[in-house]
């Protein structure tokens, strides 16, 4: 929230669950671990939208982002198979970036040059152009 209020971008490193035991195995003292699980950008976007929706239902309008907030989904950055996708939070709920590891950037105030660059990775170029028109006016 503080980043958004200051116009800063927010990097979300998504959840990784490795070497975790089920409650049953933990209680029985068995050293049997669950398979690794990694949160995807689409899951994170869905959860963030659910938070916004729940806040709105309870009359709390303090959310600093919404379904139309421009975000960037990142997967396997630095590898040969890296993927970068830019779109609204809602668009990213329907975007598959492939295998893990994923991160999500919730954009703050964007510079026109940043928006030009994000067009290269846009899920929908119209979304970026709309964001650009808001910045330029």
The domain that contains 25 carries what CATH number? 3.30.950.10
pLDDT of residue 34: 87
The answer to whether residues 67 and 89 touch, using CB atoms and an 8 Å cutoff, is: yes
124 is in which domain, residue-wise?
2-136
73 vs 64, higher pLDDT: 73
Two tokens at 114? 């940043």
pLDDT digits (tens, 9 = 90+) for 22-45: 899 889 999 988 888 899 999 999
pLDDT of residue 16: 86
Count: domains in the chain: 1
């Amino acid at each position: 929230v503080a980043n958004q209020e200051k116009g800063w971008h927010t990097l979300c490193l998504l959840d990784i669950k490795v070497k975790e035991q089920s409650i049953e195995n933990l209680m029985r003292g068995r050293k049997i671990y669950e398979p690794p699980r990694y949160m995807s950008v689409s899951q994170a976007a869905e959860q963030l939208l659910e938070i916004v929706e729940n806040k709105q239902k309870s009359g709390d309008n303090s959310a600093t982002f919404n379904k139309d907030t421009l975000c960037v989904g990142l997967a396997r950055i630095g590898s040969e198979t890296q993927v970068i996708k830019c779109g609204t939070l809602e668009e990213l709920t329907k975007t598959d970036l492939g295998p893990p590891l994923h991160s999500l950037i919730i954009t703050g105030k964007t510079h026109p040059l940043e928006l030009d660059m994000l067009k290269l990775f846009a899920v929908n170029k119209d979304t970026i152009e709309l964001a650009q028109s808001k910045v330029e006016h």
